[in-house]
Structure formats: C-alpha cells, structure tokens
Chains A and B, each alone.
Chain A
Amino acid sequence: RKEVEQDPGPFNVPEGATVAFNCTYSNSASQSFFWYRQDCRKEPKLLMSVYSSGNEDGRFTAQLNRASQYISLLIRDSKLSDSATYLCVVSGNYGQNFVFGPGTRLSVLP
C-alpha cells in the first residue's frame, strides 16, 4: 500500500463547479499535512497547510480527519486557472521526509 494515496483523476469539471479531492495516508505518526499545486511542467507550490480544525482560504477548504487518516480539499466556484495537479503531502516530526501523493489532475472547462 502506498503511504499517501489520492483520487486517481483526472477530474474534468465546468467553470463554477465545486470539486472535492480525497487523500488517505497510512502512517498514523504523521504530523503535518499540506496541499500543493503543480502546473504542467512546473514545480510544485504550496496551496495550503491543513490544520486539525480544518481551514479555509477563499474558495479553498481543507479538512483533516486524524482518526480516519484522511485529508480533503474542496474547491468552490472553479476557475479555468484552477486547472492543475493537486498533490497531497504528509510529513513526520520536524518537517522532514515529506511524502507526496501521486496527485490528482483537475481540468476546469469553459
């Protein structure tokens, strides 16, 4: 079993749609959780950290369920510019050994 698994995708959605990505992790000792965004042929960039209480940043909402070892990302009112691959990332103590999921590709269609 992979340490971090994500929805296989791709997700093709119309502009304005709400889309949710799911991620599960196997290491119960994981301490930190993130969503990164990667545009085609570019480097990953941090989208948002995920906190135990859940957090929101504009149209983006992240949730963490430690008991189920599950992380989610919700994007509301999708824009064309949201088209990218979304990477779920977990790490242990001290921010070392970040483990990346394989990513879920999103295409927002006009």
Chain B
Amino acid sequence: NAGVTQTPKFQVLKTGQSMTLQCAQDMNHEYMSWYRQDPGMGLRLIHYSVGAGITDQGEVPNGYNVSRSTTEDFPLRLLSAAPSQTSVYFCASSPGSSSYNEQFFGPGTRLTVL
C-alpha cells in the first residue's frame, strides 16, 4: 500500500492564481481531512469528509473548496490564492467513525503564495 499520497510536494503561486492540491489513499478509509500547519499554530482543520459525497467545513475553511467523488480521492482547491495561504498542507485519512481511529498523514505540500 502507498498509504496517503499528496501532490505536488512544493508549489509557488502568485496572488490570485488557483490550483488544486491532490490527495489520494489506497487503504479504503472512509474519513479524510485537510489540515494546514503554520509555525506556532499547530495543525488546523480546513475541511473533512466522512465518506464519498459528504464533506464539511473545519476550523479554517475560507478560501478553500473540497469534493469527494470517490473514496480514494480528496482534492483541495484554492480558488484565488492569497499570501495568507502560504503554509504546509497535510492530507490525512482514517478508517472510520471510531473515536480512537489513528489518522494517517500524507507527506505534505509546501505552498508559497507571492
């Protein structure tokens, strides 16, 4: 199993550009989520999904869209990039609804918005 994969690893955007961060998992996990990590702030939840066709907002959803058309894929779209979105983005998945389920993280995407 590849686990959770993310592409690209690095990206530089100009203000106002749009892009999609890709996330895929091959573990048949129902639950997937996107976080951003900024220095001193910890990981903050952007959006999450409890299954195909179902998404919901996390703590910091503004400026981001998600969709979940398949169990495997959970892309994150930046609609109009802003310098405040410069961050490291992690995608994670876990097996399901048990509150003790481990989250498995992808390697992250380092995004810089100029």
Residues of A within 8 A of B (CB): 4, 31-32, 34, 42-46, 49, 87, 91-103
Contact = CB atoms under 8 A, between A and B. Distances in A.
Interface in B85-109: 90, 94, 96-103, 105-108
Contacts of A97: 45, 48, 58
- Sorting the interface of chain B by its residue count into under 10, 10 to 19, 20 to 34 or 35 or more gives 20 to 34
- Looking at A32, A44, A93, A103, the one whose CB has the most chain B CB atoms below 10 A away is A44
Nearest to A103: B42
A4 B97 contact: no
A94 B97 contact: yes
Which 10 A/B pairs are nearest by Cβ-Cβ distance?
A43-B105, A32-B99, A100-B43, A100-B42, A102-B42, A94-B97, A95-B99, A46-B102, A95-B101, A31-B99
Interface of B: 31, 33, 35, 40-45, 48, 50, 58, 90, 94, 96-103, 105-108
Contacts of A91: 99
B80 to A, nearest CB: 26
- Looking at A34, A46, A98, A102, the one whose CB has the most chain B CB atoms below 10 A away is A98
Contacts of A98: 33, 45, 103
A31 B103 CA distance: 15
A97 to B, nearest CB: 6
A4 B42 contact: yes
